[in-house]
Amino acid sequence: MTEWQILEGIDPATSEFPAEATLGCETILVFRTANGYRGTEPLCPHQKVPLKTAVLMSGDTMIRCSRHHFIFRLDGGAGVNCTGMRLTTYPVREVDGRLEGALPDIEDQARQTGAVVPAP
């Protein structure tokens, strides 16, 4: 079950997206897309370039790092043109004018890391 937490330091009405926010003790980056909000780790896994300048593409389903154009899916974080790279992503939702985020659940983490999740 997803445990939602209020994202601190971000306001869907006034923030300029992508915007940094605090999820618990983590700093994440939040993208506003045509499909809702999505959070990612703030630095590109390639050479740790800030993703604040990343570009949404492919119907807002992916982001492209502005430095070397490595592309990651926002759903799951898989590298599209960079096999072996993966971006940590976080679900984000808007509730009553506030943004809430959650740590990736175990299945999402497994999907992102390629690990096998034991059957319950």
To the nearest whole angstrom, how small is the minimum distance from the Cβ of residue 113 to another protein? 8
Ramachandran sector of residue 77 (left: φ over 0; alpha: ψ -120 to 50; beta: rest): left
Closer CB to another protein, 6 or 85, in the complex? 85
52 is a contact residue toward another protein (CB under 8 A): no
In this structure, what are the phi and psi dihedrals at residue 27, rounded to the nearest 5 degrees?
-95, 125
Residues 101-120 that bind another protein (CB under 8 A): 113-114
Q: Taking Cα atoms as reference points, which of 37, 72, 75 lies closest to residue 51?
A: 72
To the nearest whole angstrom, how small is the minimum distance from the Cβ of residue 54 to another protein? 12
50 is a contact residue toward another protein (CB under 8 A): no
Among 57, 105, 106, 117, binds another protein (CB under 8 A): 57
Report CA 120 to chain centroid distance, whole Å: 27
User: Per the structure block, which two tokens stand in for 5?
Assistant: 């937490």
Identify whether the C-beta of residue 2 lies closer than 8 Å to the C-beta of residue 92: no
29 is a contact residue toward another protein (CB under 8 A): no
Site track 59-88 with another protein (rule: CB under 8 A), x = hit: --------xxxxx------xxxxxxxxx--
Identify whether the C-beta of residue 51 lies closer than 8 Å to the C-beta of residue 18: yes
Contact residues toward another protein (CB under 8 A) are: 47, 57-58, 67-71, 78-86, 113-114
